[in-house]
Amino acid sequence: MAASCVPLSVSPATADSGVGVYCYGYGYDESYAWAGTLGVGFLPNSKDTSAPLATVSSTTCQSVHVALTDSGVNATKLFMYHIDTIRNMTFVPDTLWITGDTLATTYYDATVINPADSAMIRVNAYDMAGNWTTITSSFSPTLAGQISPKLQQFGSGDSSRCTYLYDTLVNAGVGTFSFLGLHLARGDQGFSIDSAVMTPLAQGEHRAVKICFRPQQAAIVFDTLQFSSNCGYVASVLTGNGGATNFIVTDHDFDTTVLGASVAGSAYIINLSQLATVGIDSVWVDNPWNFQIVPNQTGHVAPPQFSIPLHGADTVQFQFTTQLSRGTGPYKTNWHAISRAIIGPGESGMRTGTLTAFVSGPPASVAQTTQDALTLTVSPNPAQTEIDVHITGARDILPQVVMLDVLGRTVAFPPPPLAAGGLVRLDVSSLPDGVYYLRASSGGATASKLIVRH
């Protein structure tokens, strides 16, 4: 240990480390002094009035290198730095550094321990004259560059053309944000970056990225759009249906009938896939006493398995029969179709529709137990611009006709025929391509017909 002893009235004692300093005189005259903070003091009345210079550099967002310099004509050189605050960071000093010694230049390094949490280090660097510099380094796990939305759902895609959606890049930081790349993590799932400007983002700038989804396989697919800088990356998950097996079933309302009567009706199983057929394994109803499936009219509703072609549908015929013991009022049940093809995680492959009817009036006579059949004839089918609808079997009441989409929503009301058995011409040119069905009702009789607009 090197130390100097002078009268305290002139200057404080100094030492090269945090220890006590003893000054011995003659005889029993002696004194003791503590050197102060961390065992050091400062040279008094020095001409060095400049604080040490700190130069901060960083090769990554999670580390920092601080170079310290105290040089010049009156420089007293660096002789101490100490940590004021440290959280979630390592501190590695210069290997040549000895506290209390003097160096014109030195350095230290700091690195984030857990990049998922914020971090900070504050260091004070002193020269021998008592001048000091405070260096504060901090880290935040949130990047200045952001991307939204975090989940982009493209829905069902078409293998013949792109479905476009946009993600947005945002500079939420201070100053210009330069990014290293914008790319897809996999790149083989049918997604592609159609257009993106790769120049740095100005502060507060929002920039759109156009993404194309063009399915390459009949499955639900995922990819990740990564927006990266030297601090890491943020991501947006992309998902789309490339034509995985998917289908729906429709509801059917038998309308109002009289007690004891039997009424025919139909519902549909519709293939929504873009690239695949749908295999149906079985069809059944919850209430077979009043609602029966008529397999001979479709040839498909009983095993073995049958398939619904791409963009197609199949009809399931039902017979609604009232029961005298049940009486009047509403009747309702569910019907189901199931496919073993798995559509997605947790999917059962079962679809459910509803069958409803309302029974009113006194018991029907034997001659009224089966109402007159109501039928629809549609041509051309598939259609592009117009269809002719011919209704037969209606009795004295003019038929009511409505056109529905696959979700049961009304899309068109053709004018009613002028007389029973009349012809209606319906304009379908404005409808999107897809599957629709017409429903006609007259008295208690109903009929439906599948229509393909293509």
Extents of the domains making up the chain: 3-39, 53-139, 145-241, 245-370, 372-454
Q: Hey, CA dihedral for 415, 421, 425, 428, is it positive or negative? A: positive
Q: How many CB atoms lie within 10 A of CB 394?
A: 24
What pLDDT is recorded for position 122? 94
Give the CA-trace dihedral at 168, 169, 173, 178, to 10 degrees.
-170
| CATH classification number, 372-454, choose in 3.30.1330.10, 2.130.10.30, 2.60.40.2550, 3.40.50.1220 | 2.60.40.2550
What pLDDT is recorded for position 37? 43
Residue 72 exposure: Cα atoms within 13 Å on the Cβ side? 14
CATH code: domain 53-139 is 2.60.40
CB 229 within 8 A of CB 189: no
What pLDDT is recorded for position 105? 92
Q: What is the mean pLDDT of the chain?
A: 75
- Residue 394's contacts (CB-CB under 8 Å, 6 or more residues apart) are 372, 374, 420, 421, 440, 442, 443, 445
Rounded Cα gap, residues 157 and 215, in angstroms? 6
What pLDDT is recorded for position 415? 62
What pLDDT is recorded for position 211? 95
pLDDT in tens, 367-409: 343 445 667 788 887 788 888 888 776 555 566 777 777 666 7
Question: Is 398 buried (19+), middle (13-18) or exposed (0-12) by CB count in 10 A?
Answer: middle
What pLDDT is recorded for position 7? 36
Q: Which residue ranges of the chain lie beneath pLDDT 70?
A: 1-45, 59, 116, 141-143, 230, 243-245, 273-276, 295-306, 309-312, 323-327, 340-348, 361-374, 393-399, 406-408, 412-422, 442-445
Domain 145-241 and domain 372-454, same fold? Reply is yes
Rounded Cα gap, residues 338 and 276, in angstroms? 16
Class level of CATH domain 145-241: mainly beta
- Residue 51's contacts (CB-CB under 8 Å, 6 or more residues apart) are 127, 131, 132, 133
3-state percent breakdown (helix, strand, coil) of the chain, nearest 5: 0, 50, 45
Rounded Cα gap, residues 371 and 397, in angstroms? 13
Rounded Cα gap, residues 89 and 346, in angstroms? 44
Rounded Cα gap, residues 38 and 20, in angstroms? 11
Class level of CATH domain 245-370: mainly beta
CB 26 within 8 A of CB 17: no
Number of H helices, E strands in the chain: 0, 36
Tokens of 13: 């004692």
Rounded Cα gap, residues 271 and 267, in angstroms? 13
What pLDDT is recorded for position 20? 43
DSSP designation for 199: S
Q: How many CB atoms lie within 10 A of CB 15?
A: 20
